[in-house]
Structure 1
Amino acid sequence: MGFKLDQTLDKTTTEQTRKEGVDHWLKKEITILGSFFNSKKKEGYYSELAILIKAGLQLREALELLAGNQKKEKLKDFYTQMVMELDKGLGFSEVLKKRKEFTEYEYYSVEIGEESGNLSEVLQELATFFAQKNDQRRNLVNALTYPLIILCTAILVVVFMLRMVVPMFKDIFEQNGVELPAITQLVIAISNIIERYGVLLLLVIAILIVLRKSLVRMESFKRKWDYLILRVPYLGNFMRLVYMAQFTQAVSLLTISKVPMLNSVQMAKKMLRFHPIQDALETMEGRILKGVSLHQSLMGNHIFDHKMISLVKVAEETNQTEYIFRKLNEQYVIELQQKSKMLSTIMEPVIIVVIGFFVGVILVSMYLPMFRLSSVLGG
């Protein structure tokens, strides 16, 4: 990053300011693909570690106790190795920095806690950070579960009709030489495609599911996917709010800790695993290096809305950057919670209407020739 925390952290900061800073730690999502030490484990890890240190144990003793409480050998070894590295004279933040399971945000936060003497409070806020991330993920899963069940069931119904019902009508029409309307011919053509290539399609879907993590790790694929999601109505704005909440929380925290704005932007860029905002922050970083003001560096990118730009301008004029970013974060979090609740409410009727439309088209396309068939049989 090109800076030292001991140069950016004000040693004369009062205890009140430090406690105020701890109250506003980042609360949102950091995604670590393929890590066994996921956010759920981190929530318990930081929470237990904070409790033990507050109870008077030394950091090494606390880690040793946590290692002894682990049932899985992999986790026990993971904690034991950290204890061994502490014994070698490394600081706790250095221990975290050496491991891919921890992000820059985590080890720099711990380093700030070590420098300021608030390590237990820092660890507790990291626990809150991951607890809220897990809550957000659970809420999102709960919101999407029922609509996705409806969607999968409806797709199966449509596929069943195309694969089993439509061919039956098709045979009847062919046997009686009925002239088919265009819509019926289209539905029969789709049915033939499913009959011929259905197994292949299922195989491709299964392969994509198996390889999804590998695809996500591909930078080019991940970039295109992120920008595609951003263009999806409602979902795109929802994802933008998720990362705006993270960004504003990060800046609020880091300005409290006296980290310069440029370094805060650099850290946020590495923390946020979403290409549209990473690109926006890279542009922002370049403008700040050229001497452009903070609010002007935000302009010209649709990721940053007018509300943020206006309030950041006020923050610069009043020297209240930390306060303004904290308030922006609160607003984004509230908006995000509202949209999370609305997501399932919106998806359910939309899915029902769309699937109902397809089922209706299939039924109409099959019944239209029946009227001609009745006249043929009657003649």
Structure 2
Amino acid sequence: MAFQLENISKQKITVEKKSNISSLLEKEVIVLKKAFSNKIKEDFYTELGVLLKAGINLKDALELIKQTQKNKKTKSILQTVVDDVVSGKSLSEAIKMQKGFSEYEYHSLKIGEETGTLSKIAEQLGSFYNRKNEQRKHLINALTYPCIILTTALLVVVFMLQFVVPMFQDIFKQQNIEMPAITLFVVNISEFIKSYGWSLILGILLLIFSRLFFNEKIWYKRIKDSVLNKIPFIGNFIKTVYLSQFTQAIALLSASKVPIVNSISLVKQMINYYPLNTALNNVESRLLKGENLSHSMSANKLFDQKMVALVKVAEETNQTEFMFERLNSQYNARVQQRSKVLSTVMEPIIILFVGLFVGFILIAMYLPMFKLSSILG
């Protein structure tokens, strides 16, 4: 934990002075980083839950957490929250006024305040963001190594098309050798790379940075998630990650006694995945018409039959919280398993694909060489 509980009654926090070298090494580098990222939220709610459970009042707990933050924007937001709490507002109301927090957090904290279980709700929110961050790490770990291999391989292929193929092309022209169709195809690709290479690089960079501006646009989410879902292995893996987050969120809201219709509405605001948001909109509309949750979910292909069957059992036995916790454990285990399989399977597939492409280029270049050797012979 980043704070100590000794001498809380004195309400004094001692900050040790460090050398310039040490402070420079520990300085937080923030580039396009949110003031309240998921990682910061995980630490914030976990620490808040521990402090409140230890008997510290809300104001002192927020003050202590604020002092542990390195990001000035985060400190500024927490100071505003502290000021609002001191002025008489509840924590949920203070949180709602800040852009970095969602309606899901606001309603969860409000329920905790009304039921006297704020420390428990804070711990649950910390657990939610902990699981969410862990799943993000699994996704990054699964894709990092294949992406490095793919990028390196593409650079090798581009180098061959940019420099090696033109050398062979000059030789063939000097010897007036008629090039076969496969060689002409590779030569045309090489000329295209030479003419429009920088435009392609610029287009890729614009595509990468476009998410900074269009990430909240519905059309962008629809296209992005649709493309990702069609990628073998990766599409199913991403779907499993978001279903795990969905089941965990419903389990936490059920534990807080939030009605299922309100839970579905809140989860839509927490999870940024277009297919799931679309499915939840459909589920919500069916619930409002009087249908039960399992029947509403069965109309969407996103939810598998096992989930629908367990939800139906949960409705009949009034064990919604327990059943969604069980589903969450299963999906989380599946995420870990698929992340390992994904990183294992993607590597040989990429190597095979690149090997075939490089072999194709070499064959295309050596076919005219055979003809040249027969002429010289």
TM bracket (short chain): 0.7 to 0.9
Give the match's secondary structure for 1:217.
Answer: coil
Distance 2:353 2:82 in 1: 57
Partner deviation per Cα, 1:205-246 (whole Å, 9 max, x = no partner): 223333331132322122111122222222111121112112
Matched with 2:285 is: 286
Q: What is the aligned partner in structure 1 of residue 316 from structure 2? A: 317
| Bigger mean CA offset, 76-85 vs 153-162 | 76-85
Question: How far did 1:269 drift?
Answer: 1.8
Residue 209 of structure 2 corresponds to: 210
Residue 323 (structure 1) shift: 2.2
| Alpha carbons 2:128, 2:248 under 8 Å: kept | no
Aligned to 1:3: none
The 8 Å contact of residues 294 and 309 in structure 2, kept in 1 or not, is answered as: yes
- Relative contact order (alpha carbons < 8 A, sep ≥ 6): 1 or 2 greater? 1
C-alpha distance in 2, partners of 1:292/1:128? 31
| Counterpart for residue 221 of structure 1 | 220
TM-score, length-scaled by structure 2? 0.87
1:169-213 C-alpha deviation (Å, 9 max, x unpaired): 011111111121111110000000001111111122223333331
Q: Does 1:124 align with 2:103?
A: no
Equivalent position of 2:156 in the other structure: 157
| Match of residue 248 from structure 1 | 247
Q: Kindly tell me: are residues 252 and 71 of structure 1, through their superposed partners in 2, closer, same or farther at Cα, counting changes over 3 Å?
A: closer
Please list the CA deviations of residues 250-277 of structure 1 after superposition, one character each: whole Å capped at 9, or x if unmatched: 2222222222211111112222211111
Aligned pairs for 1:1-379 (under 5 A) are 35-378=34-377
In the TM superposition, residue 67 of structure 1 has moved relative to its aligned partner by 2.7
Q: Structure 1 56/292 Cα, relative in aligned 2: closer, same or farther at 3 Å?
A: closer
Paired residues of 2:41 and 2:129 also in contact (CA < 8 A): yes
- Gap runs ≥5 in structure 2: 1-31
Deviates more, 1:260-269 or 1:151-160: 260-269
Which letter maps to 1:187? V
Gap change, CA 1:357 and 1:268, over 3 Å in 2:
same
Secondary structure of 1:177 counterpart: coil
Distance 1:260 1:52, change over 3 A: closer
Distance in 1 of aligned mates of 2:231 and 2:273 = 15
Give 1:133 shift: 2.4
SS in 1 for 2:124: helix
How far has the Cα of 1:308 moved from its partner?
Answer: 1.2
Residue 7 of structure 1 corresponds to none
Q: How many angstroms apart in 1 are the aligned matches of 2:218 and 2:292? A: 31
Q: Work out whether residues 138 and 335 of structure 2, in 8 Å CA contact, stay in contact via their aligned partners in 1.
A: no
Give deviations 1:266-305, integer Å, cap 9, x for gaps: 1122222111111111111111122222222112321011
| Amino acid in the other structure paired with 1:270 | Q
Aligned length in residues: 346
TM-score by length of 1: 0.86
Structure 1 residues 212 and 167: alpha-carbon distance in aligned structure 2, compared to 1, 3 A threshold: same
Whichever residue aligns with residue 241 of structure 1, its letter is: T
Q: C-alpha distance in 1, partners of 2:265/2:166?
A: 60
Give the CA deviation at 1:361. Answer: 0.2
In 2, Cα distance between equivalents of 1:190 and 1:289:
56
2:24 maps to which residue?
none
Structure 2 Cα separation of the partners of residues 334 and 65 of structure 1? 35
Q: How many percent identity over aligned positions?
A: 51
Deviations 1:315-371 (A, max 9, x none): 223332222222222211111111011111011111100000100000010111111
Cα displacement (A) at 1:34: 6.2
Residue 124 of structure 2 contacts residue 252 of structure 2 at CA under 8 Å; is this kept in 1?
A: no
CA contact (8 A) 2:249 2:267 kept: yes
CA distance in 2, matches of 1:118, 1:293: 29
Instruction: Assess, with a 3 A threshold, how the Cα gap between structure 1 residues 210 and 281 changes in structure 2: closer, same or farther.
Output: closer
Is the 2:77–2:98 Cα contact (8 Å) retained in structure 1?
no
Q: Distance in 2 between matches of 1:263 and 1:278?
A: 14
- Which residue identity is paired with 1:132? R
Q: Deviations over 1:107-137 (max 9, x none)?
A: 2221222222222222223223223322322
The whole-number CA distance in structure 2 between the counterparts of 1:206 and 1:313 is: 47
Tell me the C-alpha RMSD between the 2 structures. Answer: 1.8
Is there any run of 5+ residues in structure 1 with no aligned partner, and where? 1-32
- Report which stretch shifted further, 270-279 or 354-363: 270-279
Structure 1 residues 299 and 128: CA distance shift in structure 2, 3 A:
closer
Aligned CA distance change for structure 1 residues 259 and 54 (closer, same or farther; 3 Å): closer
Instruction: Find the aligned partners of 1:168 and 1:178 in 2 and give their Cα distance.
Output: 14
Q: Residue in 1 aligned with 2:26? A: none
Deviates more, 1:97-106 or 1:123-132: 123-132
